[in-house]
């Protein structure tokens, strides 16, 4: 599985700029056009032509397999327009990170998986879950990005991701079959593309605390022997011990300027080295070569 994912990553990287640039812009514009035409005409003919219907698809109206995302609606005109602008910006941000190829595959693969599920188990495919999967993907890439709820309250992206997960779990229990599994289909697509990165939707502090619960603590072994730290004057004391208690010492007889302060000491320039001699041996010693 890991090698297969690596191949997929390399494929998306090699074909990063291939695909439909700004796909979410075209989908958002098409959805807005369908909604506005139906809203002002008070007519849902376009919705009936573009929506997902398994019986009509089996009769040959196969365009419904890919046109149902254009039938998205958030209820009122204002909320629908705001939602479409939001989903377009989320898709654009993901495309900037992933590239055109992978971002297109993310959304189109979600459409395909929803088609297969609804063709097998029935129900009308809903584009709302596909668009919410964009929010989950964006929260994974940018968990600390902020949204202004009602243009006033700042809320981080990971909070929306966690709320989406919570509402999906609630809908899994309360909604009727097969609508309750629509979120599961989007989650499957999400896990397929993000892999282990799905943990990024949670704050780093949560992840660290969670891992700390399962981390095995190694017993700390006491030190076998304490390491003494020297005091401030210990270095000077050690230097004083090493330092010789005289300044000059005769190489022949060993007398020093401390034991015999009346003697004079000289250094021989002909000896190969730094050798000191007293006044009695400076003139008649064997030169060291």
Q: Is 137 in contact with 102 (CB distance < 8 Å)? A: no
Q: Is 97 in contact with 141 (CB distance < 8 Å)? A: yes
Indicate if the pLDDT at residue 236 is higher than 60.
Answer: no
The DSSP code for 256 is B
Residue-wise pLDDT for 6-62, tens only, equals 788 888 888 888 889 999 999 999 999 999 998 888 888 888 999 999 999 999 999
- Compute the distance between CA of residue 130 and CA of residue 115 in angstroms, rounded to an integer: 12
Q: What is the pTM of this model?
A: 0.67
Q: Is 171 in contact with 186 (CB distance < 8 Å)? A: no
> Of 86-95, 117-126, 252-261, which gets the smallest average pLDDT?
252-261
Instruction: Give residue for tokens 């003697």.
Output: 263
Position 231 scores a pLDDT of 52
Q: Where are the domains positioned within the chain?
A: 2-205, 243-289
The Cα angle at residue 280 between residues 276 and 282, in degrees rounded to 5 = 40
Mean pLDDT of 92-107: 91
Output the 3-class SS for 134-202: HHHHHHHHCCCCEEEECCCEEEEHHHHHHHHHHHHHHHHHHCCCCHHHHHHHHHHHHHHHHHHHHHHHC
Position 219 scores a pLDDT of 61
Query: 207 falls in which pLDDT band (50, 70, 90)?
Result: low
The helix (run of H) or strand (run of E) holding residue 267 is strand 265-267
Position 273 scores a pLDDT of 78
Position 211 scores a pLDDT of 60
Indicate if the pLDDT at residue 224 is higher than 60.
Answer: no
Residue-wise pLDDT for 181-192, tens only, equals 888 888 888 888
């Amino acid at each position: 599985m890991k090698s297969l994912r690596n191949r997929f990553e390399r494929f998306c990287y090699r074909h990063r700029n291939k695909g439909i640039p700004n796909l979410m812009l075209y989908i958002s514009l098409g959805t807005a056009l369908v909604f506005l035409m139906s809203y002002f005409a008070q007519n849902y003919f376009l919705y009936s032509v573009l929506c997902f219907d398994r019986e009509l698809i089996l009769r040959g109206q196969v365009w419904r397999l890919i046109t149902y995302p254009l039938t998205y609606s958030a209820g009122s005109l204002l909320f629908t327009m705001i939602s479409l602008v939001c989903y377009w910006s989320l898709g654009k941000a993901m495309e900037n990170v992933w590239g055109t190829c992978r971002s297109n595959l993310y959304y189109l693969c979600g459409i395909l998986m929803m088609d297969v599920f609804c063709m097998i188990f029935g129900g009308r495919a809903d584009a709302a879950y596909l668009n919410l999967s964009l929010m989950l993907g964006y929260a994974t890439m940018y968990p600390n990005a902020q949204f202004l709820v009602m243009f006033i309250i700042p809320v981080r992206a990971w909070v929306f991701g966690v709320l989406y997960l919570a509402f999906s779990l609630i809908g899994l229990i309360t909604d009727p079959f097969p609508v309750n599994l629509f979120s599961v289909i989007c989650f499957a697509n999400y896990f397929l593309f993000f892999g282990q990165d799905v943990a990024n939707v949670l704050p780093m502090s949560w992840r660290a605390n969670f891992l700390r619960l399962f981390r095995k603590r190694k017993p700390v072994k006491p030190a076998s022997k304490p390491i003494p730290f020297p005091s401030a004057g210990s270095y000077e004391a050690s230097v004083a011990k090493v330092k010789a208690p005289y300044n000059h010492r005769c190489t022949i007889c060993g007398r020093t300027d401390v034991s015999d302060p009346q003697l004079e000491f000289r250094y021989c320039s002909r000896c190969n080295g730094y050798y000191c001699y007293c006044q009695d041996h400076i003139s008649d010693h064997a030169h060291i070569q």
